[in-house]
Amino acid sequence: MPTLPPGVNARKFGVAVAAFRAAIGADWVYIDPEDLDPYRDSYSTVWGRPEERQAGAVVAPATVEQVQAVVRIANRHRVPLHPISTGKNFGYGGPSPNVSGSVIVDLKRMNRVLEVDQERNFALVEPGVSYFDLYRYIQERGLQVWIDCPDPGWGSPIGNSLERGVGYTLPFYRDHYGASCGMEVVLANGELMRTGMGALPGARTWQDYRYGFGPDPAGLFAQGNFGIVTKLGIRLMPRPEYYRTGLITVPRRRDLIPLVKTVNYLSDSGLIGEPVYASPLTALLGDAGFRETITRPGGPSDAEMDRIAGEHRLPSWQVELQFYGPERTCLASWEYARDRILDEIPGARAVDGESLKVPLTPRQLDNVDAPYKSSIRRHGAQGVPSLGIWKIVRGSGHVGFFPVIPRTGAAVFEAQRVLGDALREFDLRPFFTAITTPLHWHPFTFQLVYAPSVSRDDREHNARVHRSMLRIIEVAAAHGWGDYRAATIYQDAVADSYAFNDHVLRRFNEALKDAVDPHGILAPGRGGIWPRRYRAARGGQPS
Protein backbone atom coordinates (compact mmCIF):
# COMPACT_ATOMS: atom_id res chain seq x y z
CA MET A 1 0.00 0.00 0.00
CA PRO A 2 1.69 3.25 -1.06
CA THR A 3 1.88 6.32 1.15
CA LEU A 4 -1.10 8.38 0.06
CA PRO A 5 -1.04 12.13 -0.32
CA PRO A 6 -3.17 13.97 2.22
CA GLY A 7 -6.73 14.34 1.02
CA VAL A 8 -6.42 11.67 -1.66
CA ASN A 9 -7.92 8.26 -0.99
CA ALA A 10 -6.57 4.98 -2.35
CA ARG A 11 -9.17 4.74 -5.10
CA LYS A 12 -8.49 8.23 -6.45
CA PHE A 13 -4.76 7.69 -6.19
CA GLY A 14 -5.07 4.43 -8.11
CA VAL A 15 -7.03 6.16 -10.86
CA ALA A 16 -4.33 8.83 -11.11
CA VAL A 17 -1.55 6.24 -11.26
CA ALA A 18 -3.39 4.41 -14.05
CA ALA A 19 -3.68 7.69 -15.96
CA PHE A 20 0.04 8.39 -15.48
CA ARG A 21 0.82 4.94 -16.86
CA ALA A 22 -1.34 5.55 -19.89
CA ALA A 23 0.31 8.92 -20.50
CA ILE A 24 3.99 8.07 -20.17
CA GLY A 25 4.18 4.27 -20.18
CA ALA A 26 3.88 1.81 -17.31
CA ASP A 27 7.65 1.28 -17.18
CA TRP A 28 8.12 4.84 -16.01
CA VAL A 29 5.61 4.91 -13.18
CA TYR A 30 6.86 3.42 -9.91
CA ILE A 31 4.81 2.51 -6.88
CA ASP A 32 6.73 -0.48 -5.50
CA PRO A 33 8.52 0.25 -2.19
CA GLU A 34 11.83 -1.00 -3.60
CA ASP A 35 11.60 1.55 -6.41
CA LEU A 36 10.47 4.37 -4.09
CA ASP A 37 13.19 3.85 -1.47
CA PRO A 38 15.87 5.74 -3.44
CA TYR A 39 13.58 8.79 -3.41
CA ARG A 40 14.00 9.09 0.36
CA ASP A 41 16.44 11.67 1.63
CA SER A 42 19.61 9.61 2.13
CA TYR A 43 20.91 12.30 4.49
CA SER A 44 17.76 12.84 6.51
CA THR A 45 17.97 13.99 10.11
CA VAL A 46 14.59 12.32 10.67
CA TRP A 47 15.34 9.03 8.90
CA GLY A 48 12.77 6.41 9.85
CA ARG A 49 10.78 8.82 11.99
CA PRO A 50 7.19 9.93 11.37
CA GLU A 51 8.45 13.36 10.30
CA GLU A 52 10.38 11.88 7.35
CA ARG A 53 8.84 12.86 4.02
CA GLN A 54 8.35 9.99 1.59
CA ALA A 55 7.03 9.70 -1.94
CA GLY A 56 3.76 7.96 -2.79
CA ALA A 57 4.72 7.23 -6.39
CA VAL A 58 7.17 8.32 -9.07
CA VAL A 59 6.65 9.32 -12.68
CA ALA A 60 9.61 9.75 -15.02
CA PRO A 61 8.52 11.61 -18.16
CA ALA A 62 10.90 11.82 -21.12
CA THR A 63 9.48 14.85 -22.93
CA VAL A 64 7.95 18.23 -22.25
CA GLU A 65 4.65 16.93 -23.59
CA GLN A 66 4.72 14.10 -21.08
CA VAL A 67 5.40 16.58 -18.26
CA GLN A 68 2.37 18.55 -19.41
CA ALA A 69 0.27 15.40 -19.44
CA VAL A 70 1.42 14.49 -15.92
CA VAL A 71 0.51 17.94 -14.61
CA ARG A 72 -2.94 17.83 -16.20
CA ILE A 73 -3.63 14.40 -14.71
CA ALA A 74 -2.46 15.60 -11.31
CA ASN A 75 -4.79 18.58 -11.58
CA ARG A 76 -7.71 16.39 -12.52
CA HIS A 77 -7.18 14.08 -9.55
CA ARG A 78 -5.81 16.69 -7.10
CA VAL A 79 -2.60 14.71 -6.62
CA PRO A 80 0.44 16.71 -5.38
CA LEU A 81 3.59 16.49 -7.49
CA HIS A 82 7.20 17.11 -6.50
CA PRO A 83 9.58 17.67 -9.43
CA ILE A 84 13.29 16.83 -9.22
CA SER A 85 16.03 17.26 -11.81
CA THR A 86 18.87 14.84 -11.08
CA GLY A 87 17.73 14.44 -7.45
CA LYS A 88 21.18 15.11 -5.99
CA ASN A 89 20.31 17.95 -3.66
CA PHE A 90 21.96 16.16 -0.75
CA GLY A 91 22.18 18.03 2.52
CA TYR A 92 19.03 19.84 1.44
CA GLY A 93 16.53 17.00 1.25
CA GLY A 94 17.80 15.02 -1.75
CA PRO A 95 14.91 13.89 -3.96
CA SER A 96 12.36 13.72 -1.13
CA PRO A 97 9.14 15.75 -1.26
CA ASN A 98 7.81 18.32 1.22
CA VAL A 99 4.52 16.42 1.53
CA SER A 100 4.51 12.67 2.07
CA GLY A 101 2.57 10.79 -0.56
CA SER A 102 3.49 13.27 -3.30
CA VAL A 103 4.21 11.90 -6.74
CA ILE A 104 7.83 12.62 -7.60
CA VAL A 105 8.26 13.91 -11.15
CA ASP A 106 11.73 12.55 -11.87
CA LEU A 107 13.13 14.51 -14.84
CA LYS A 108 16.38 12.55 -15.11
CA ARG A 109 15.36 11.07 -18.48
CA MET A 110 15.12 14.56 -19.99
CA ASN A 111 18.86 14.64 -20.44
CA ARG A 112 19.63 16.51 -23.64
CA VAL A 113 22.18 19.26 -24.01
CA LEU A 114 20.22 21.29 -26.53
CA GLU A 115 22.82 23.87 -27.45
CA VAL A 116 26.24 25.17 -26.50
CA ASP A 117 27.33 28.42 -28.15
CA GLN A 118 31.01 29.30 -27.81
CA GLU A 119 30.70 32.66 -29.54
CA ARG A 120 28.02 34.04 -27.26
CA ASN A 121 28.99 31.71 -24.40
CA PHE A 122 25.85 29.96 -23.21
CA ALA A 123 24.26 26.52 -22.95
CA LEU A 124 20.63 25.43 -23.12
CA VAL A 125 19.93 22.23 -21.22
CA GLU A 126 17.19 19.96 -19.96
CA PRO A 127 16.78 19.14 -16.25
CA GLY A 128 18.23 15.63 -16.36
CA VAL A 129 21.58 16.87 -17.68
CA SER A 130 24.29 16.68 -15.01
CA TYR A 131 27.41 18.82 -14.75
CA PHE A 132 29.33 15.72 -15.80
CA ASP A 133 27.12 15.41 -18.89
CA LEU A 134 27.52 19.05 -19.89
CA TYR A 135 31.28 18.93 -19.31
CA ARG A 136 31.57 15.76 -21.41
CA TYR A 137 29.54 17.38 -24.19
CA ILE A 138 31.86 20.41 -24.22
CA GLN A 139 35.05 18.35 -24.07
CA GLU A 140 34.01 15.92 -26.80
CA ARG A 141 33.46 18.83 -29.16
CA GLY A 142 36.53 20.79 -28.13
CA LEU A 143 34.46 23.85 -27.27
CA GLN A 144 36.30 26.74 -25.66
CA VAL A 145 33.89 27.38 -22.80
CA TRP A 146 33.83 26.57 -19.09
CA ILE A 147 30.98 25.72 -16.79
CA ASP A 148 31.01 26.84 -13.18
CA CYS A 149 30.45 23.67 -11.13
CA PRO A 150 29.19 23.16 -7.61
CA ASP A 151 31.09 20.66 -5.46
CA PRO A 152 29.53 17.43 -6.73
CA GLY A 153 29.36 17.00 -10.51
CA TRP A 154 26.40 14.61 -10.51
CA GLY A 155 23.97 17.46 -9.88
CA SER A 156 21.97 19.25 -12.51
CA PRO A 157 22.75 22.73 -13.83
CA ILE A 158 19.01 23.35 -13.79
CA GLY A 159 18.42 21.97 -10.31
CA ASN A 160 21.45 23.68 -8.86
CA SER A 161 20.59 27.00 -10.46
CA LEU A 162 17.02 26.78 -9.18
CA GLU A 163 18.40 26.03 -5.71
CA ARG A 164 20.66 29.09 -6.10
CA GLY A 165 23.76 26.94 -5.82
CA VAL A 166 27.23 28.44 -6.03
CA GLY A 167 30.60 27.60 -7.56
CA TYR A 168 34.26 28.48 -7.78
CA THR A 169 35.31 30.58 -10.78
CA LEU A 170 34.68 34.26 -11.56
CA PRO A 171 32.07 36.12 -9.48
CA PHE A 172 29.36 36.38 -12.13
CA TYR A 173 29.39 32.64 -12.87
CA ARG A 174 29.60 31.52 -9.23
CA ASP A 175 26.01 32.61 -8.62
CA HIS A 176 24.32 29.85 -10.57
CA TYR A 177 20.84 31.31 -10.55
CA GLY A 178 22.28 34.73 -11.39
CA ALA A 179 24.09 33.18 -14.36
CA SER A 180 20.93 31.53 -15.71
CA CYS A 181 19.26 33.11 -18.71
CA GLY A 182 15.87 32.09 -20.05
CA MET A 183 13.52 29.38 -18.80
CA GLU A 184 10.88 27.11 -20.22
CA VAL A 185 8.30 26.16 -17.62
CA VAL A 186 5.28 23.86 -17.46
CA LEU A 187 2.72 25.75 -15.40
CA ALA A 188 0.28 24.19 -12.96
CA ASN A 189 -2.47 24.10 -15.58
CA GLY A 190 -0.20 22.26 -18.01
CA GLU A 191 0.51 25.27 -20.23
CA LEU A 192 4.05 25.85 -21.47
CA MET A 193 5.62 29.26 -20.77
CA ARG A 194 8.97 30.76 -21.70
CA THR A 195 10.49 33.65 -19.75
CA GLY A 196 12.49 36.65 -20.95
CA MET A 197 13.13 36.83 -24.67
CA GLY A 198 11.69 33.32 -24.95
CA ALA A 199 8.24 34.88 -24.83
CA LEU A 200 8.90 36.44 -28.23
CA PRO A 201 8.15 33.88 -30.94
CA GLY A 202 11.28 33.41 -33.01
CA ALA A 203 13.45 35.25 -30.48
CA ARG A 204 17.17 35.02 -31.23
CA THR A 205 18.48 36.12 -27.84
CA TRP A 206 16.66 33.84 -25.35
CA GLN A 207 19.92 32.88 -23.62
CA ASP A 208 21.48 36.36 -23.93
CA TYR A 209 18.90 38.78 -22.51
CA ARG A 210 16.99 37.36 -19.60
CA TYR A 211 14.36 40.05 -19.17
CA GLY A 212 12.39 40.42 -22.39
CA PHE A 213 9.76 43.03 -21.67
CA GLY A 214 7.68 43.64 -18.58
CA PRO A 215 7.90 41.84 -15.24
CA ASP A 216 10.23 38.86 -15.20
CA PRO A 217 8.70 36.01 -13.17
CA ALA A 218 11.73 33.71 -13.60
CA GLY A 219 12.69 34.19 -9.95
CA LEU A 220 9.46 32.53 -8.86
CA PHE A 221 10.75 29.19 -10.11
CA ALA A 222 13.90 29.25 -7.98
CA GLN A 223 13.25 27.61 -4.59
CA GLY A 224 9.57 27.95 -5.48
CA ASN A 225 6.63 25.86 -6.56
CA PHE A 226 5.02 27.74 -9.41
CA GLY A 227 5.99 25.49 -12.31
CA ILE A 228 8.24 22.70 -13.56
CA VAL A 229 11.29 24.03 -15.39
CA THR A 230 11.96 21.97 -18.51
CA LYS A 231 14.70 24.06 -20.13
CA LEU A 232 17.18 26.60 -18.80
CA GLY A 233 19.82 28.77 -20.38
CA ILE A 234 23.15 29.04 -18.57
CA ARG A 235 25.83 31.63 -19.20
CA LEU A 236 29.23 30.01 -19.76
CA MET A 237 32.68 31.44 -19.10
CA PRO A 238 35.01 31.70 -22.08
CA ARG A 239 37.99 29.45 -21.42
CA PRO A 240 40.82 31.63 -20.07
CA GLU A 241 44.35 31.38 -21.43
CA TYR A 242 46.07 31.33 -18.04
CA TYR A 243 45.39 30.66 -14.40
CA ARG A 244 47.52 32.17 -11.61
CA THR A 245 47.44 31.85 -7.83
CA GLY A 246 49.04 33.70 -4.94
CA LEU A 247 48.92 33.60 -1.16
CA ILE A 248 48.59 36.53 1.25
CA THR A 249 49.02 36.16 5.02
CA VAL A 250 48.37 38.73 7.73
CA PRO A 251 49.73 38.53 11.27
CA ARG A 252 47.03 39.84 13.61
CA ARG A 253 43.44 38.85 14.28
CA ARG A 254 41.98 42.27 13.44
CA ASP A 255 43.91 42.32 10.15
CA LEU A 256 41.02 40.30 8.71
CA ILE A 257 39.01 43.52 8.54
CA PRO A 258 41.26 45.48 6.13
CA LEU A 259 42.13 42.26 4.28
CA VAL A 260 38.47 41.56 3.49
CA LYS A 261 37.90 45.17 2.48
CA THR A 262 40.66 45.08 -0.11
CA VAL A 263 39.79 41.61 -1.38
CA ASN A 264 36.20 42.81 -1.83
CA TYR A 265 37.59 45.65 -3.96
CA LEU A 266 39.56 43.19 -6.07
CA SER A 267 36.57 40.91 -6.48
CA ASP A 268 34.02 43.58 -7.27
CA SER A 269 36.45 45.13 -9.76
CA GLY A 270 36.60 41.87 -11.70
CA LEU A 271 40.28 41.24 -10.96
CA ILE A 272 40.05 37.91 -9.11
CA GLY A 273 38.18 34.62 -8.97
CA GLU A 274 37.06 33.07 -5.71
CA PRO A 275 39.15 34.30 -2.75
CA VAL A 276 39.77 31.34 -0.45
CA TYR A 277 40.19 32.35 3.18
CA ALA A 278 41.74 30.15 5.86
CA SER A 279 43.49 30.44 9.20
CA PRO A 280 47.03 29.05 9.54
CA LEU A 281 46.17 28.61 13.22
CA THR A 282 44.34 25.42 12.27
CA ALA A 283 47.79 23.85 12.64
CA LEU A 284 47.25 24.13 16.39
CA LEU A 285 43.98 22.19 16.53
CA GLY A 286 45.74 19.17 17.95
CA ASP A 287 46.31 21.16 21.15
CA ALA A 288 43.39 20.77 23.59
CA GLY A 289 44.19 24.08 25.23
CA PHE A 290 44.00 25.88 21.90
CA ARG A 291 40.69 24.19 21.11
CA GLU A 292 39.32 25.35 24.48
CA THR A 293 40.47 28.89 23.75
CA ILE A 294 38.86 29.21 20.34
CA THR A 295 35.55 27.70 21.49
CA ARG A 296 35.32 29.59 24.78
CA PRO A 297 31.89 31.18 25.45
CA GLY A 298 32.03 34.78 24.31
CA GLY A 299 35.19 34.07 22.33
CA PRO A 300 38.83 34.81 23.16
CA SER A 301 40.19 38.35 23.11
CA ASP A 302 42.09 39.68 20.10
CA ALA A 303 45.16 40.05 22.28
CA GLU A 304 45.01 36.42 23.38
CA MET A 305 44.72 35.20 19.80
CA ASP A 306 47.57 37.48 18.69
CA ARG A 307 49.74 36.18 21.51
CA ILE A 308 49.11 32.57 20.45
CA ALA A 309 49.84 33.37 16.80
CA GLY A 310 53.03 35.19 17.79
CA GLU A 311 54.25 32.39 20.04
CA HIS A 312 53.85 29.86 17.24
CA ARG A 313 55.13 32.22 14.54
CA LEU A 314 51.94 31.71 12.59
CA PRO A 315 49.90 34.30 10.71
CA SER A 316 46.35 34.78 11.95
CA TRP A 317 44.73 34.63 8.52
CA GLN A 318 45.46 33.91 4.90
CA VAL A 319 43.70 34.32 1.62
CA GLU A 320 44.52 32.58 -1.63
CA LEU A 321 43.85 34.70 -4.68
CA GLN A 322 43.08 33.31 -8.13
CA PHE A 323 43.39 35.06 -11.48
CA TYR A 324 42.05 34.12 -14.90
CA GLY A 325 42.91 35.58 -18.28
CA PRO A 326 45.90 36.40 -20.46
CA GLU A 327 49.23 35.58 -18.82
CA ARG A 328 50.34 39.20 -18.55
CA THR A 329 46.98 40.35 -17.22
CA CYS A 330 47.04 37.65 -14.52
CA LEU A 331 50.53 38.68 -13.49
CA ALA A 332 49.69 42.37 -13.42
CA SER A 333 46.55 41.74 -11.35
CA TRP A 334 48.48 39.60 -8.85
CA GLU A 335 51.23 42.21 -8.52
CA TYR A 336 48.65 44.93 -7.98
CA ALA A 337 46.77 42.89 -5.36
CA ARG A 338 49.97 41.87 -3.61
CA ASP A 339 51.48 45.35 -3.50
CA ARG A 340 48.26 46.98 -2.36
CA ILE A 341 47.69 44.56 0.53
CA LEU A 342 51.34 44.67 1.63
CA ASP A 343 51.13 48.47 1.64
CA GLU A 344 47.92 48.54 3.63
CA ILE A 345 48.53 45.87 6.28
CA PRO A 346 51.76 45.96 8.29
CA GLY A 347 53.37 42.56 8.53
CA ALA A 348 51.41 41.11 5.61
CA ARG A 349 53.33 38.69 3.43
CA ALA A 350 52.85 37.38 -0.09
CA VAL A 351 53.91 34.15 -1.74
CA ASP A 352 53.74 33.57 -5.47
CA GLY A 353 51.65 30.54 -6.31
CA GLU A 354 51.50 28.93 -9.72
CA SER A 355 51.04 30.36 -13.21
CA LEU A 356 49.56 27.68 -15.43
CA LYS A 357 48.53 27.55 -19.04
CA VAL A 358 44.93 26.41 -19.48
CA PRO A 359 43.87 23.63 -19.86
CA LEU A 360 45.79 22.25 -16.94
CA THR A 361 47.52 18.89 -17.05
CA PRO A 362 46.04 16.11 -14.90
CA ARG A 363 48.78 16.64 -12.32
CA GLN A 364 48.17 20.37 -12.23
CA LEU A 365 44.48 19.66 -11.83
CA ASP A 366 45.31 17.49 -8.82
CA ASN A 367 46.77 20.60 -7.13
CA VAL A 368 49.77 18.90 -5.57
CA ASP A 369 52.54 21.32 -6.58
CA ALA A 370 51.52 24.57 -4.89
CA PRO A 371 54.49 26.12 -3.03
CA TYR A 372 52.31 26.33 0.09
CA LYS A 373 49.46 24.31 1.59
CA SER A 374 46.54 25.26 -0.61
CA SER A 375 42.87 25.20 0.36
CA ILE A 376 41.69 25.82 -3.20
CA ARG A 377 39.40 23.23 -4.72
CA ARG A 378 41.30 23.10 -7.98
CA HIS A 379 38.78 21.11 -10.01
CA GLY A 380 36.06 23.59 -9.14
CA ALA A 381 38.36 26.51 -9.85
CA GLN A 382 38.95 25.05 -13.32
CA GLY A 383 35.29 24.35 -14.07
CA VAL A 384 35.87 20.59 -13.97
CA PRO A 385 33.08 18.60 -12.29
CA SER A 386 34.08 15.83 -9.89
CA LEU A 387 32.93 13.93 -6.83
CA GLY A 388 36.22 14.23 -4.99
CA ILE A 389 34.66 16.60 -2.48
CA TRP A 390 32.73 13.66 -1.04
CA LYS A 391 35.86 13.02 1.00
CA ILE A 392 34.49 15.51 3.52
CA VAL A 393 31.14 13.75 3.88
CA ARG A 394 31.10 11.77 7.09
CA GLY A 395 28.71 9.32 8.72
CA SER A 396 25.58 8.88 6.67
CA GLY A 397 25.95 12.28 5.08
CA HIS A 398 25.17 15.70 6.47
CA VAL A 399 22.64 18.46 6.46
CA GLY A 400 23.49 22.04 5.54
CA PHE A 401 22.89 25.50 6.97
CA PHE A 402 24.77 28.36 5.32
CA PRO A 403 23.84 31.75 6.79
CA VAL A 404 24.32 34.75 4.54
CA ILE A 405 26.38 37.36 6.39
CA PRO A 406 27.87 40.73 5.37
CA ARG A 407 31.21 40.61 3.57
CA THR A 408 33.23 42.18 6.38
CA GLY A 409 35.76 40.95 8.89
CA ALA A 410 33.68 42.41 11.73
CA ALA A 411 30.65 40.37 10.65
CA VAL A 412 32.78 37.23 10.60
CA PHE A 413 33.95 37.84 14.18
CA GLU A 414 30.39 38.43 15.38
CA ALA A 415 29.03 35.34 13.61
CA GLN A 416 31.84 33.16 14.97
CA ARG A 417 30.95 34.16 18.51
CA VAL A 418 27.14 34.21 18.27
CA LEU A 419 26.71 30.97 16.36
CA GLY A 420 29.43 29.20 18.31
CA ASP A 421 27.73 30.09 21.59
CA ALA A 422 24.30 29.11 20.24
CA LEU A 423 25.41 25.58 19.35
CA ARG A 424 27.40 24.82 22.48
CA GLU A 425 24.52 23.06 24.25
CA PHE A 426 24.24 20.41 21.53
CA ASP A 427 27.67 18.89 22.09
CA LEU A 428 28.39 18.44 18.38
CA ARG A 429 31.63 19.07 16.50
CA PRO A 430 32.16 22.85 16.69
CA PHE A 431 31.71 24.58 13.35
CA PHE A 432 31.99 28.15 14.61
CA THR A 433 35.16 29.05 16.46
CA ALA A 434 37.52 32.00 16.66
CA ILE A 435 39.38 30.69 13.58
CA THR A 436 36.35 29.93 11.40
CA THR A 437 36.74 31.60 8.02
CA PRO A 438 34.08 32.79 5.60
CA LEU A 439 33.17 31.31 2.24
CA HIS A 440 33.18 33.83 -0.57
CA TRP A 441 31.11 31.75 -2.98
CA HIS A 442 28.28 34.15 -3.72
CA PRO A 443 29.77 37.25 -5.39
CA PHE A 444 28.60 39.79 -2.83
CA THR A 445 28.14 38.04 0.50
CA PHE A 446 29.95 35.77 2.87
CA GLN A 447 28.53 32.53 4.12
CA LEU A 448 29.56 30.33 6.98
CA VAL A 449 29.02 26.61 6.99
CA TYR A 450 27.15 24.45 9.46
CA ALA A 451 27.00 20.90 8.11
CA PRO A 452 26.66 18.41 10.98
CA SER A 453 26.79 14.74 10.07
CA VAL A 454 23.73 12.53 10.29
CA SER A 455 23.43 8.82 10.95
CA ARG A 456 21.07 6.14 9.69
CA ASP A 457 21.50 4.26 12.96
CA ASP A 458 21.94 6.79 15.76
CA ARG A 459 18.57 8.40 16.38
CA GLU A 460 19.75 10.31 19.43
CA HIS A 461 22.51 11.95 17.39
CA ASN A 462 20.07 12.82 14.63
CA ALA A 463 17.66 14.29 17.15
CA ARG A 464 20.41 16.56 18.49
CA VAL A 465 21.35 17.61 14.97
CA HIS A 466 17.70 18.30 14.22
CA ARG A 467 17.28 20.47 17.31
CA SER A 468 20.53 22.27 16.54
CA MET A 469 19.34 23.08 13.02
CA LEU A 470 16.13 24.63 14.30
CA ARG A 471 18.07 26.55 16.93
CA ILE A 472 20.68 27.96 14.59
CA ILE A 473 18.06 29.09 12.09
CA GLU A 474 16.37 31.00 14.90
CA VAL A 475 19.53 32.51 16.39
CA ALA A 476 20.97 33.51 13.03
CA ALA A 477 17.73 35.19 12.02
CA ALA A 478 17.65 37.11 15.30
CA HIS A 479 21.00 38.60 14.26
CA GLY A 480 19.95 39.41 10.68
CA TRP A 481 21.55 36.38 9.02
CA GLY A 482 19.22 34.25 6.92
CA ASP A 483 19.81 30.81 5.46
CA TYR A 484 20.18 30.72 1.66
CA ARG A 485 18.81 27.24 1.02
CA ALA A 486 17.23 24.58 3.17
CA ALA A 487 16.35 20.91 3.33
CA THR A 488 12.64 20.19 2.90
CA ILE A 489 12.29 19.49 6.61
CA TYR A 490 13.64 22.99 7.46
CA GLN A 491 12.08 25.09 4.72
CA ASP A 492 9.17 26.25 6.87
CA ALA A 493 11.49 27.33 9.67
CA VAL A 494 13.73 29.25 7.28
CA ALA A 495 10.81 30.82 5.42
CA ASP A 496 9.32 31.79 8.75
CA SER A 497 12.45 33.81 9.54
CA TYR A 498 11.90 36.02 6.49
CA ALA A 499 9.12 37.75 8.42
CA PHE A 500 9.31 41.46 7.52
CA ASN A 501 5.94 43.21 7.88
CA ASP A 502 3.99 40.24 9.15
CA HIS A 503 5.40 37.83 6.55
CA VAL A 504 4.19 39.92 3.65
CA LEU A 505 6.63 38.20 1.27
CA ARG A 506 5.18 34.80 2.09
CA ARG A 507 1.62 36.15 1.92
CA PHE A 508 2.38 37.62 -1.50
CA ASN A 509 3.87 34.35 -2.74
CA GLU A 510 0.93 32.37 -1.41
CA ALA A 511 -1.57 34.73 -3.05
CA LEU A 512 0.23 34.04 -6.33
CA LYS A 513 0.28 30.33 -5.55
CA ASP A 514 -3.46 30.20 -5.05
CA ALA A 515 -3.99 32.10 -8.29
CA VAL A 516 -1.78 30.04 -10.60
CA ASP A 517 -2.08 26.66 -8.84
CA PRO A 518 -5.57 26.68 -7.35
CA HIS A 519 -5.55 22.96 -6.58
CA GLY A 520 -2.16 23.17 -4.92
CA ILE A 521 -0.61 20.34 -6.90
CA LEU A 522 2.89 21.68 -7.55
CA ALA A 523 5.36 20.93 -4.74
CA PRO A 524 3.15 22.13 -1.89
CA GLY A 525 5.29 23.49 0.93
CA ARG A 526 8.43 23.94 -1.15
CA GLY A 527 10.20 27.14 -0.18
CA GLY A 528 7.73 27.49 2.70
CA ILE A 529 4.97 28.34 0.21
CA TRP A 530 1.81 26.41 0.96
CA PRO A 531 -1.30 26.34 -1.22
CA ARG A 532 -4.61 27.12 0.46
CA ARG A 533 -5.48 23.42 0.41
CA TYR A 534 -2.67 22.48 2.80
CA ARG A 535 -1.85 25.82 4.41
CA ALA A 536 -3.05 24.86 7.87
CA ALA A 537 -0.28 22.26 7.97
CA ARG A 538 2.53 24.82 7.79
CA GLY A 539 5.46 23.67 9.91
CA GLY A 540 4.39 20.04 9.78
CA GLN A 541 2.66 17.58 7.51
CA PRO A 542 -0.87 17.91 6.13
CA SER A 543 -3.22 15.13 7.15
**Catalytically active residues, by annotation:** 92, 484-485
Q: Which residues contact 525 (CB under 8 A, 6 or more apart)?
A: 98, 99, 225, 488, 491, 492, 534, 537, 538
| Pairing label, strands 403-405, 446-447 | antiparallel
Shortest Cβ distance from residue 54 to other proteins (Å)?
Answer: 7
The secondary structure of the chain in percent helix, strand, coil, rounded to multiples of 5, reads 40, 15, 45
User: Cα separation of 509 and 540, whole Å?
Assistant: 19
210 is an interface residue for other proteins by CB under 8 A: no
**335 vs 366, beta carbon nearer other proteins:** 366
Given 11, 50, 142, 202, the residue binding other proteins (CB under 8 A): 50
Given 5, 80, 95, 155, the residue binding other proteins (CB under 8 A): 95
Where do the DSSP E strands lie in 380-445? Answer: 403-405
Given 12, 109, 503, 538, the residue binding other proteins (CB under 8 A): 109
Given 75, 86, 195, 245, the residue binding other proteins (CB under 8 A): 86
540 is an interface residue for other proteins by CB under 8 A: no
Shortest Cβ distance from residue 106 to other proteins (Å)?
Answer: 5
100 is an interface residue for other proteins by CB under 8 A: yes
Inter-residue contact 3 to 41 (CB < 8 Å):
no
33 is an interface residue for other proteins by CB under 8 A: yes
Cα separations in angstroms, 253 against 279, 439, 457: 10, 18, 41
**42 vs 295, beta carbon nearer other proteins:** 42
Shortest Cβ distance from residue 61 to other proteins (Å)?
Answer: 10
Q: How many residues bind other proteins (CB under 8 A)?
A: 51
Contact region with other proteins (CB under 8 A), list: 43-51, 257-265, 335-343, 421-429: 43-51
Given 106, 148, 320, 483, the residue binding other proteins (CB under 8 A): 106
Q: What is the DSSP letter of 208?
A: T
Q: Which amino acid is at 63?
A: T
**100 vs 180, beta carbon nearer other proteins:** 100
**94 vs 251, beta carbon nearer other proteins:** 94
245 is an interface residue for other proteins by CB under 8 A: no
Q: What number of residues does the chain have?
A: 543
39 is an interface residue for other proteins by CB under 8 A: yes
457 is an interface residue for other proteins by CB under 8 A: no
Q: Would you give the binding string for other proteins spanning residues 115-144, x where CB under 8 A is met? A: -------------x---x------------
42 is an interface residue for other proteins by CB under 8 A: yes
Q: Which residues contact 74 (CB under 8 A, 6 or more apart)?
A: 16, 80, 81, 103, 521
Contacts (CB under 8 A) with other proteins, residues 151-170:
153-154
Cα separations in angstroms, 57 against 1, 38, 73, 80, 159: 11, 12, 14, 10, 20
Inter-residue contact 273 to 380 (CB < 8 Å):
no
367 is an interface residue for other proteins by CB under 8 A: yes
Choose among 533, 536, 522, 532: nearest CA to 98.
522
Shortest Cβ distance from residue 67 to other proteins (Å)?
Answer: 14
368 is an interface residue for other proteins by CB under 8 A: yes
Contacts (CB under 8 A) with other proteins, residues 369-428:
374, 376-379, 386-391, 393-397
Contact region with other proteins (CB under 8 A), list: 82-90, 113-121, 435-443, 468-476: 82-90
User: Cα separation of 244 and 24, whole Å?
Assistant: 50
Shortest Cβ distance from residue 74 to other proteins (Å)?
Answer: 19
Cα separations in angstroms, 84 against 59, 93, 163, 520: 11, 11, 11, 17
34 is an interface residue for other proteins by CB under 8 A: yes
Evaluate the CA torsion angle 372, 376, 381, 387 in order and state its sign. Answer: positive
Element (H, E) at 522: none
3-state secondary structure of 425: helix
Question: What order of strands is seen across the sheet that includes strand 122-125?
Answer: 113-117, 122-125, 227-235, 180-187, 192-194
Q: Which residues contact 108 (CB under 8 A, 6 or more apart)?
A: 60, 84, 85, 86, 87, 127, 128
52 is an interface residue for other proteins by CB under 8 A: yes
**365 vs 428, beta carbon nearer other proteins:** 365
Cα separations in angstroms, 391 against 93, 169, 177, 270, 394: 20, 21, 26, 32, 8
Residues forming beta bridges with residue 245, ordered by sequence position = 322
**48 vs 326, beta carbon nearer other proteins:** 48
Neighbours of 76 (CB within 10 A): 15
Shortest Cβ distance from residue 3 to other proteins (Å)?
Answer: 6
Shortest Cβ distance from residue 543 to other proteins (Å)?
Answer: 12
**133 vs 510, beta carbon nearer other proteins:** 133
Shortest Cβ distance from residue 529 to other proteins (Å)?
Answer: 24
The site for other proteins (CB under 8 A) is made up of 1, 3, 30, 33-35, 37-40, 42-43, 48, 50, 52, 54, 58, 60, 86-88, 90, 94-95, 100, 106, 108-109, 128, 132, 153-154, 366-368, 374, 376-379, 386-391, 393-397
